[in-house]
Amino acid sequence: MAVEWSGLTPEIMLQLDRGSRGTLGAQLQGALRTAIRSGRLRADERLPSSRKLASDLGVSRGLVQSTYEQLAAEGYLTATAGGTTRVAPAVRQSAIERTAVGLPVDVGIAFTPGRPDLNSFPMRDWLWACGEAARIASRRDIGYGEAAGSSRLREVLAAYAQRVRAASIGSRDVIVCSGFTQGVALTLRVLREQGAETVAVEDPGHGELTMHVRRAGLQAVPVPVDADGLIVDELRSTSATAVILTPAHQTPTGVVLGPGRRQELLRWADERDGIMIEDDYDSEFRYDRQPVGALQGLAPDRVVMIGSVSKSLGPGLRLAWILAPSRLAAAIAEEKHHSDLGSPSLDQLALARLLESGRYDAHLRRMRRAYAAKRVALTEALQQHAPHLRLTGLDAGFHAVAELPPGTDEAAIIRAAARRSVHLHGMQRYRVLGADDRPAIVFGFGDLNEHAIRSGIARIANLLQPAVDVGDA
């Protein structure tokens, strides 16, 4: 669909060379044809009036009118009621431009882990919060703020983390950032400056963490995960003085870091003078068990906890927070300042109002019910079509792991499913050390409705059967 520009007449960049041998009329016709063919002027887009374009180019109105008439005769333009001239809807554009303007593409059914239900974004509540933020914003809020973020949002986040996640934090040790990725990058840079050399990551784990560790100038070492979470004995065998982990809902296995492992981690941190970077992933969405308190609450001097609204609201807001030990908070805030001078102030105030008002909590309650229904749709569909598969990681979040029989070609199943327009993610992509004999599919269901979930599983049902040859499926 073409962009509909507001105002009396839109502007367009065209240039004429009065020193050229070609007539001005021929040049204008050629420039407009090129703009239309390349997609710079898109189908159905409105052109300037002949009077306005003539004034902008310093030519006669008659020359522009005759150009429009000629291109209309060639099929490039159309004249509509009221004298409006537009690009004809059927003009062929380059393949790149056709993609850019969004022609229909069969994206199929994508079981993408980590993608929330973006159709359920609480737009009305967010608009209300933005209005409140604009109403209460001071002159200072509109300028360059504190490196650590809005003092109001930091106060609200500290109180929220204490109430909901059993964290132990004061507002001065909260730093607002732009997503988990920035939060972990800032923290890693500070740790490197303070002498850290090696950082442990979970295996399997967040696919890009190893890259972020290396970009910070540190060495990444993988540590395996079992049914109780990160194996601390394996961590001790490394030289790491920092570890990044997801204790509330491990990515991607879904296991919860057990109480014994938590105590072992605290002892490891004391022995190494180490730091634990806690990704508070999926902590908002629990179903069959009580929420697990944040690791940060057990050792606020040893844990950097990073949370965000990427899963609870939407990643496009680019709002997250770091709960840091007092000895690191100022340095992380300084890194944030050097990185981008701070996150958008009005958005921070809007999030603060959303949290304070109770609308954020109400949204989370609605989403828990919605994700729980989607979880049921996935489990029932797999039980119907592939009852032999063991499904794990369902206590929280909006993805589950279906363990495939040993020896199954995980990659072949993914390729065969894609040919049926069902897009899957395998466990292999989360493994740091490479191939493993425990193939699995990680089914994300957050951004799919229940019908799509059931339909997608039905499409690939035979691919999930034991010992099936999927080479030609």
Q: Please identify, among 304, 331, 357, the residue that sits at the C-terminal boundary of a domain.
A: 357
> Quick check: 75 and 37 in contact, CB under 8 A?
no
Domain count across the chain: 3
Q: What is the pTM of this model?
A: 0.79
Asked whether the predicted pLDDT for residue 39 surpasses 90, the reply is: no
> Quick check: 182 and 344 in contact, CB under 8 A?
no
Q: Are residues 214 and 353 in the same domain?
A: yes
User: Is residue 12 in a domain?
Assistant: no
Q: Are residues 136 and 242 in the same domain?
A: yes
Confidence category of residue 98, pLDDT binned at 50, 70, 90: very low
- Report the CATH number at residue 45: 1.10.10.10
What's the pLDDT at 248? 87
User: Is residue 469 in a domain?
Assistant: no
Q: Are residues 317 and 456 in the same domain?
A: no
pLDDT average, residue stretch 146-154: 94
- Please state, in angstroms and as integers, the Cα–Cα distance from residue 30 to each residue in 20, 71, 140, following that order: 13, 10, 51
pLDDT tens digit sequence for 297-349: 999 999 999 999 999 999 999 999 999 999 999 999 999 999 998 999 999 99
Alpha helices in 104-231 (DSSP H): 123-136, 139-142, 151-165, 180-193, 209-215
Q: Are residues 331 and 344 in the same domain?
A: yes
- Report the CATH number at residue 329: 3.40.640.10
Buried b (16+ CB within 10 A) or exposed e, 445-473: bbbbebebbbebbebbeebbeeeeebeee
pLDDT tens digit sequence for 225-268: 999 999 999 999 999 999 999 998 888 998 889 999 999 999 99
User: Is residue 49 in a domain?
Assistant: yes
Q: Are residues 344 and 366 in the same domain?
A: no
Q: Are residues 282 and 415 in the same domain?
A: no
Q: Are residues 336 and 410 in the same domain?
A: no
Q: Are residues 397 and 350 in the same domain?
A: no
Q: What residue numbers bound the domain in which 206 lies? A: 123-357
Q: Are residues 231 and 367 in the same domain?
A: no
Q: Are residues 307 and 378 in the same domain?
A: no
Confidence category of residue 295, pLDDT binned at 50, 70, 90: very high
Asked whether the predicted pLDDT for residue 160 surpasses 50, the reply is: yes
Q: Are residues 340 and 278 in the same domain?
A: yes
- Report the CATH number at residue 453: 3.90.1150.10
Q: How many CB atoms lie within 10 A of CB 103?
A: 10
Q: Are residues 84 and 140 in the same domain?
A: no
